[in-house]
């Protein structure tokens, strides 16, 4: 069964450093997302991406964050200058379609296993 993959599984970095989190969405999916989950808290939306551009972003997704689809398979999240409060589990997700489609199963977002980011 196709799945979303993420690398690395765990990233440790120093405050102020840049990190790039990588994701390979399910191959026929067109919509891509990043979410984060601070330890013990709920999952929060960061950004959605479709047709090579951001379709929506949250207040968390400030100028320190950027996303890119550098080729036909990868989807990346870059944090330019990490802060202590960026420590969290980062989940990539993908869906075949977006909202408003006839068949809801194609709207479902499938998540990757996550990258645990620790900022020291």
Partner 1 sequence: AQKITQTQPGMFVQEKEAVTLDCTYDTSDQSYGLFWYKQPSSGEMIFLIYQGSYDEQNATEGRYSLNFQKARKSANLVISASQLGDSAMYFCAMRPRRGGGNKLTFGTGTQLKVEL
Residues that bind partner 1 (CB under 8 A): 31, 33, 35, 41-45, 48, 50, 55-56, 58, 89, 91, 93, 95, 98-100, 104-105, 107-114, 116
Question: In this structure, are residues 115 and 89 in contact, taking their beta carbons and an 8 Å threshold?
Answer: yes
State how far the Cα of 6 lies from the Cα of 112, in Å rounded to an integer.
6
Distance CA 94, CA 111 (A): 7
Name the minimum Å distance from CB 93 to partner 1: 8
Nearer to partner 1, 41 or 81 (CB): 41
Residue 94 and residue 107 in contact, taking contact as beta carbons nearer than 8 Å = no
**Min. distance of Cβ 88 from partner 1 in angstroms?**
11
The distance of closest approach from Cβ of residue 81 to partner 1 in the complex, given in angstroms and rounded to an integer, is 25
What tokens does 22 get? 């990588």
């Amino acid at each position: 069964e196709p799945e979303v993959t993420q690398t690395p599984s765990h990233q440790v970095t120093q405050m102020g450093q840049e990190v790039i989190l990588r994701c390979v969405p399910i191959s026929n999916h067109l919509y891509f997302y990043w979410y984060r989950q601070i330890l013990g808290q709920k999952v929060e939306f960061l950004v959605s991406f479709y047709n090579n551009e951001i379709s929506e972003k949250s207040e968390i997704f400030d100028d320190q964050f950027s996303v890119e689809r550098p080729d036909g398979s990868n989807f990346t999240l870059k944090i330019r200058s990490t802060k202590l409060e960026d420590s969290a589990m980062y989940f990539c997700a993908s869906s075949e379609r977006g909202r408003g489609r006839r068949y809801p199963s194609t709207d479902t977002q499938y998540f990757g296993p996550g990258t645990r980011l620790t900022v020291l």
